[in-house]
């Protein structure tokens, strides 16, 4: 679980390289800003880690707030808001679609709780360091989500129209209610058209 933040960051870089979608880039930017905030808080508060832990692999001697806890709770809270607010639920939303959102939310919540507990169990942090890290991550996640929605999203069409954005194929999907369904239908339609063209040839 100690490597989970790195795995998430690698996943984001992969998504950005292959999808090049502005909301994903903004989400990633929020994670980086969250890490910067954690670094600042640690060096302002300068509260040491608990005694007795194997801290040879950590990058700083300070433990308040827990960077792992702050990272995972930012990620989970932002993802919750994305699932339930960004991916609008329509009146004809299928039960299966709603069910997988709830299941995914429960899994993410369980992962966040497990990561938080592991930091105390491995003696990297005290409970207070983990709790304050979680609170900081949740607050930052909510704030950054609404900054993205209310401030950045209206700018996405203009950013996507920049020559450099067009050169790198950067996309804006903010006006698409359900991006998963949109990509599925477009891909399926294109596949059918290609099959028809091959038969004609």
**Rounded average pLDDT over 93-106:** 77
How much is the CA Rg of the chain, to the nearest whole Å?
A: 20
Residue 61 lies in a domain: yes
What percent of the chain clears pLDDT 90, i.e. is strictly above it?
A: 20
Higher per-residue pLDDT: 89 or 63: 63
What percent of the chain clears pLDDT 70, i.e. is strictly above it?
A: 84
Q: Give residue 102's domain range.
A: 2-176
Residues 6+ apart with CB under 8 A from 120: 126, 127, 130
Strand partners, 171: 21
Per residue in 16-45, pLDDT tens? 888 888 888 888 999 999 999 999 988 888
Please say whether the beta carbons of 63 and 19 come within 8 A: no
Backbone angles phi, psi at 129, to 5 degrees: -65, -40
Please say whether the beta carbons of 27 and 12 come within 8 A: yes
Residue 186 lies in a domain: no
Number of Cβ within 10 Å of residue 47's Cβ equals: 17
pLDDT reported for residue 76: 93
Residue 193 lies in a domain: no
Residue 73 lies in a domain: yes
- Alpha-carbon gap, residue 81 to 30, rounded angstroms: 14
Residue 126 lies in a domain: yes
What total number of domains does the chain contain?
Answer: 1
pLDDT of residue 2 exceeding 70, the answer is no
**Rounded average pLDDT over 142-159:** 90
Higher per-residue pLDDT: 135 or 182: 135
| Sign for the pseudo-dihedral over CA of 76, 79, 81, 84 | negative
- Alpha-carbon gap, residue 145 to 46, rounded angstroms: 29
Residue 152 lies in a domain: yes
pLDDT of residue 192 exceeding 80, the answer is no
pTM equals 0.79
Residue 62 lies in a domain: yes
pLDDT reported for residue 70: 92
Residue 40 lies in a domain: yes
């Amino acid at each position: 679980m100690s490597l989970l933040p790195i795995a998430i960051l690698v996943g984001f870089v992969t998504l950005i390289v292959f999808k090049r979608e502005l909301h994903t880039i903004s989400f990633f930017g929020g994670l980086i800003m969250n890490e910067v905030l954690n670094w600042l808080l640690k060096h302002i508060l300068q509260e040491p880690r608990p005694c007795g832990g194997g801290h040879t692999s950590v990058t700083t001697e300070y433990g308040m707030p827990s960077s792992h806890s702050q990272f995972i709770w930012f990620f989970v809270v932002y993802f919750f808001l994305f699932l339930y607010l960004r991916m609008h639920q329509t009146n004809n939303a299928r039960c299966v679609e709603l069910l997988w959102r709830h299941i995914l939310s429960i899994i993410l919540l369980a992962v966040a709780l497990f990561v938080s507990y592991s930091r105390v169990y491995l003696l990297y942090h005290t409970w207070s360091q983990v709790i304050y890290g979680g609170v900081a991550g949740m607050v930052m996640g909510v704030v950054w989500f609404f900054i993205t929605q209310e401030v950045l999203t209206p700018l996405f069409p203009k950013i996507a129209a920049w020559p450099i954005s067009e050169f790198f194929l950067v996309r804006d999907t903010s006006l698409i209610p359900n991006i998963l369904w949109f990509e599925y239908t477009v891909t399926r339609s294109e596949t059918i058209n290609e099959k028809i063209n091959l038969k004609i040839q």
